[in-house]
Amino acid sequence: MRVVVIGASGHIGTYLIPRLVDGGHDVVAVSRGKREPYSPHGAWQRVTQVTADRDAEDGEGTFGRRIAELEGDVVIDLICFQEDSARQLAEALTGRVRQFLHCGTVWTHGHSTVVPTTEDRPKRPFGEYGRQKAAIEAYLLERAHRDGFPATLIHPGHITGPGWVPVNPAGNINPAVFQTLADGAELALPNFGMETVQHVHADDVARLFVDAMNNRAAAVGESFHSVATTALTLRGYAEAVAGWFGQEARLTFLPWEEWRATVSEADAQITYDHIAHSPHCSMEKSERLLGHRPRYTSLEAISEAVDWLIRAGTITR
């Protein structure tokens, strides 16, 4: 099939594009053209690359039409963050695609209540990002069920892999947290360190997109989580990372208001977003309907990212 991927050079696209090419698909990679994939691969020499400024073209009302004119059998949208943008694209693609796949987020659930959280739990999102992603999901699923628009939604957790800093045991993305654990120094965590994070390797997300394409009849009109099969507490995560460096984690715990005063405001805000959500989502649906099971545990996925940070000199042993 001809597959158009929007946001092709990012975390997921780095792994998705080679999988699609190796699967025999004719691939069109749409991006701003401002960065290379995180990992080089010869498959990129066999794709059609299209440069587009989505924000500008959405503002002009031309982006959806431009994507439709690429004549994809399948369109995969990895970088849509506003409901209006999703509406423009879906309207332009109506009647013109075999399947439309949108990348959402597990943050559409809002606070965790019953865990592991399944896809059909009531959605109570908070924060602009979560609310917009939930609105996109509601719109696309309503279109799928009412009009037959062939939408499938994939909701990743904390995407990780070589090439960027993963969400760390303090719930933010400051690499100094990993260095502290590598040095055997004392690390303060918020509250009792019992909030959760749930990572997923970018390649497992890419695999789920492909599995949804290969099982179109079961995937259209549905949403699927894309996470490792288990979540990590901040405390357990910190202990595991320290062990990678031959250290025993020296952890202290501070009430939230005290802890946030020990870090930058930016780090505190990122941590708050992660621990307020404390995701722990189920992967049962994707295994049952699509035969998909993640290959990486949370710690295996994080380990690859940390190894890359060591090779890059960001973390020293």
Q: Where are the domains of the chain?
A: 2-159+199-226, 165-198+230-279+297-311
| Neighbouring residues of 89: CB distance < 8 A, sequence distance ≥ 6 | 63, 64, 67, 75, 77, 80
User: What architecture is domain 165-198+230-279+297-311?
Assistant: Alpha-Beta Complex (3.90)
* Virtual torsion, Cα 257, 263, 269, 274, nearest 10 deg: -90
Report in angstroms the alpha-carbon separations of 197 from 181, 221, 314. Answer: 18, 28, 22
The radius of gyration of the chain's CA atoms, rounded to the nearest angstrom, is 20
pLDDT at 44: 85
pLDDT at 178: 98
Alpha-carbon gap, residue 107 to 160, rounded angstroms: 16
Element (H, E) at 253: strand 250-254
238: tokens are 């910190």
What are the pLDDT tens digits along the chain (317 aa)? 999 999 998 999 999 999 999 999 999 999 987 677 877 788 889 999 999 999 999 999 999 999 999 999 999 999 999 999 999 999 999 999 999 999 999 999 999 889 999 999 999 999 999 999 999 999 999 999 999 999 999 999 999 999 999 999 999 999 999 999 999 999 999 999 999 999 999 999 999 999 999 999 999 999 999 999 999 999 999 999 999 999 999 999 999 999 999 999 999 999 999 999 999 999 999 999 999 999 999 999 999 999 999 999 999 98
**Do the domains spanning 2-159+199-226 and 165-198+230-279+297-311 agree at the CATH topology level?**
no
Alpha-carbon gap, residue 246 to 248, rounded angstroms: 7
From 3.40.50.720, 3.40.920.10, 2.40.128.20, 3.30.930.10, which CATH number describes the 2-159+199-226 domain? 3.40.50.720
**How many beta carbons lie within 10 A of that of residue 311, not counting itself?**
10
